[in-house]
Amino acid sequence: MISAAAKVYLTRFFMQWITSKNMDAVTSDEFFDLLIEHGSRFAWYFHLMPVGMKASPELMPTREQREYIYHRIREVRGFTGGKEIFVMDFQNDGEYVGGCIAGGRNYCPSTRRVMLSRVYLFTIQSKYP
The 10s digit of each residue's pLDDT in 91-103 is: 888 787 776 666 6
Give the confidence band of 67 by pLDDT, cuts at 50, 70, 90: very high
Give the contacts of 25 (CB within 8 A, at least 6 positions apart). 31, 128, 129
What percent of the chain lies above the pLDDT cut of 90? Answer: 30
- Round to whole Å and give the CA distance between 64 and 67: 5
- β-partners of residue 86 are 42
Least confident of 40-44, 45-49, 93-97: 93-97
Q: Is the pTM of this model over 0.75?
A: no
Task: Say what the pLDDT of residue 107 is.
Answer: 52
What are the counts of helices (DSSP H) followed by strands (DSSP E) for the chain? 7, 3
